[in-house]
Each structure stands twice: as structure tokens, then as C-alpha cells.
Amino acid sequence: GRVALAVRRDRRPNGDWLIFKVSDTGIGMTSEQQERLFDAFTQADASTTRNYGGTGLGLSITRSFSRMIGGVVKVESELGKGSTFTMEIPAEFKKESSEQHPSEAVPLPPRDKAVLIIDDEPAARTVIASALAEAGLASFEAASGEEGIAAARAHRPAAIILDIIMPHQDGWSVLRSLKNDRELCEIPVILATILADRELGLSLGAVEYLTKPIDTEKLIRTIEACGGGNRDVLVIDDDQASRDFLRRILIKKDWRVHEASDGVRGLGLMKRLLPRLVVLDLLMPEMDGFQTLSEMQQTPELQNIPVVVVTSKDLSMNELEWLRDRAVAVVTKGANSRSQLVKALERQISAAE
């Protein structure tokens, strides 16, 4: 058999890194063995301890030490052919980066977008998404690190809320991948986890480290400090007079108003803008408000955008109940309902601000 060590220095957007690779031509491991290899007092096979000795602590300690300085340890192996262990650590460890504050975060790209939630726990994602929606912030979700990185590349979120403890690819690895990607490294990342390792998280480039259960008010303040909010409101209504009336109300509150005359155009604008709020008429040509809401619920990046429904339709109890499950307010058009509409909009504007 053979064991080889290779060391190199790698220049990346977030600084220089040292890469250590140890390769052998030994017995190799299955994917199941690799998944539990870094657990303390664990080895790939019980026979390993019997035949070769050892406590099963070496890799766990190595990974802990590498994480303390912002690094990572990973393994690639093929049963019967051997294994390669890789440790990547920053060439320079800057302790002062732990003093970083959300208000000093890297500015966002020109267009404000939604917040990406990466967490393997559906309940945790729901809690965070609900808190963001109440604050008027759009969000979309990913259930794994791999899915999260792909979603970040596809949608370029305004900010990312990232859990650390996830199977297959943990949050440390996801954060490292994001900060090493030229196109994604500027996106502010907020860590949300049960682990108490704030200094490590900030040293790896996170703008804030929040421990679970999440303080949602602090989370919203952090996102706002990162620039995660936007001032876009989309009005979808086929009646020009109604759109003009809504525009006047919203502009007075310093919001950017965008308009669409039907659901098809509205969805197209929505996907491009990811607005803070949608004001939606129900009776429209091509695609009505019911269809538009259904499409929004089936589109991950749109399903958490708050919607105020405005309609002249005489709604049945079933229709009203359906709408209330999907919209934050339902207002009936009419001469006596303008004040009601204004109040509904002002409530949503206040929540968004």
C-alpha cells in the first residue's frame, strides 16, 4: 500500500487557503461508513480497531481544530481502492473579523430580492418564513445544503438564513462554498443554529450568528441592516383608474409601484421583481386573481409574498375562506370601501417598514 501527502496554497475571492490532501491505497469505505466517520469514538468498521488499534477520535479532533480556525475536513473514498482526506484552512486567520456587525455588511446587488432559508427542518423553515412574511419580506426555501447553493445561484437572494446542523452537507461547508463562489460571495449570510460557535461563524464570513430558538425581531433587524428589504409593490388590476388610485396611495408612502393589467403579466413581473407586497384584483382577463394566487402558491419564491386582494366580485363564503387562507387582506371595491382599502394598505405598509 501507499500513503501520499500533498500540500498547496489556493487563491480564492475571500483570501488564500492552504489545502492538505492525504491519500492512501487502503481498504476504502462505503458511503454509509463515510457519513459516520467523523463522529467521536467511531471508526469505519469495528474490525478496524481490532486489527489496527485506535480510539476513533483522531478525525473528530482534526475536524474540530480545523473548524476553530475556519477550515473544513472532508473525505472521498471508494471501497477496495482507498481514501483521500482533505483539510482546507485559511492561510491567515483574522480574529478581528468576529467584530463584524450587520450594519457593516457587504451592500446588496442593485436589485433587492427575496431571502433564502436553508434548513433541513420543515418546521424551522416555516417559523422563519412566517416571521419574514409578517414583516413584508418575501422568502423561498431549500431543505439541504446542496439544494440551497443551487437556489442561491438560480435566484441570487438578498440574504441567506443558514442552519448549521444538516445531513450530508452541513452549514459550515455551505457557508464556505458560498464565500468561495465569485458570484455568490457578496450575499449576506445569517447563521441560525443551536450551536454556540459565533466567532467561527463570523470568521467564515457570516454577517450575524443567531442561536435557536430564533429571536425573530433580531432576525428582521439583521436582514434590514443587510439591505434585505425592498420598496417594490406590484399592483395587478385590469382597471386603469383603480391602478392610478392605488399608485397615488403607495407613492405617498415612498414605495416603488409597478403595474400589470392581468395575472399573466403580473406573474412575469413578480418573478423578476420579487416585490414586498402585491395588490391583486380578482376579475381580470386571461388569468384572474384566483388563478394568479394559485400560481403564486405553487412557485417557491412567490408563495410568501403578502397579497392584498381587492375585488368588486360578490364572494361566496367558500371563495372568501379560500382567499383568506392565501391573502393577508380581502377588500371589496366600491364607493364606501376606499377608506377600508387605504387602511388595509397602510397596515401592510407599516408591517413592511
Q: Which residue has the cell 434548513?
A: 119
**Residue positions counted in the chain:** 353
Task: Note the pLDDT of residue 254.
Answer: 67
DSSP 56: S
The phi and psi torsions of 262 (rounded to 5 degrees) equal -160, 170
pLDDT digits (tens, 9 = 90+) for 282-327: 989 889 899 999 999 898 888 888 888 888 888 888 888 888 888 8
What is the rounded distance in angstroms from the CA atom of residue 266 to the CA atom of residue 197? 43
CATH 3.40.50.2300 residue ranges for the chain: 99-226, 232-352
Starting at the earlier edge strand, list the strands of the sheet with 329-332. Answer: 256-260, 232-236, 277-281, 307-311, 329-332
Query: What integer pLDDT is reported at residue 22 of this predicted model?
Result: 94
Beta-bridge mates of residue 173:
none
Per-residue pLDDT of the chain (353 residues; tens, 9 = 90+): 789 999 999 887 667 889 999 999 888 888 878 777 766 545 555 444 444 444 455 776 777 677 666 677 888 898 888 999 999 888 875 443 333 343 333 333 333 468 999 999 888 888 888 888 777 678 899 999 999 999 999 888 889 999 998 888 889 999 999 988 888 888 889 998 877 677 777 877 888 888 877 787 788 777 766 655 566 789 999 989 888 888 888 877 767 788 999 999 999 989 887 888 899 999 898 898 999 999 998 988 888 888 888 888 888 888 888 888 888 888 776 544 566 666 777 676 666 55
* Closest CA relative to residue 256, chosen from 231, 227, 223, 288: 231
Beta carbons within 8 Å of 17's beta carbon, 6+ residues apart: 9, 10, 88, 89, 90, 91
What is the CATH number that goes with domain 3-90?
3.30.565.10
* Residue extent(s) of CATH 3.30.565.10 domains in the chain: 3-90
CATH number 3.40.50.2300 given to 99-226: yes
**3 state SS of 90:** strand
Cβ atoms of residues 203 and 95 within 8 Å? yes
Cβ–Cβ < 8 Å for 234, 243: no
- Determine contact, residues 195/183, Cβ cutoff 8 Å: no
Query: Which pLDDT belongs to residue 67?
Result: 65
Instruction: Give every strand in the sheet of 208-211, ordered side by side.
Output: 139-142, 115-118, 159-162, 189-193, 208-211
Specify the CATH number for 232-352; select among 3.40.50.2300, 3.30.420.310, 3.90.1150.10, 3.30.450.40: 3.40.50.2300
Spatial distance between the Cα atoms of 151 and 126, rounded to a whole number of angstroms: 17
Q: How, if at all, do strands 189-193 and 159-162 pair? A: parallel
Query: Who's near 123: CB < 8 A, 6+ residues apart?
Result: none
Q: Give the three-class secondary structure for 240.
A: helix
Give the list of residues 6+ apart from residue 326 with CB closer than 8 angstroms, or none: 293, 296, 297, 307
Q: What is the pLDDT of residue 55?
A: 44
Residue 47 neighbours by CB under 8 Å, 6+ apart: none
Which cell numbers in the block locate residue 298?
Answer: 405553487
Q: Which residue has the cell 452541513?
A: 170
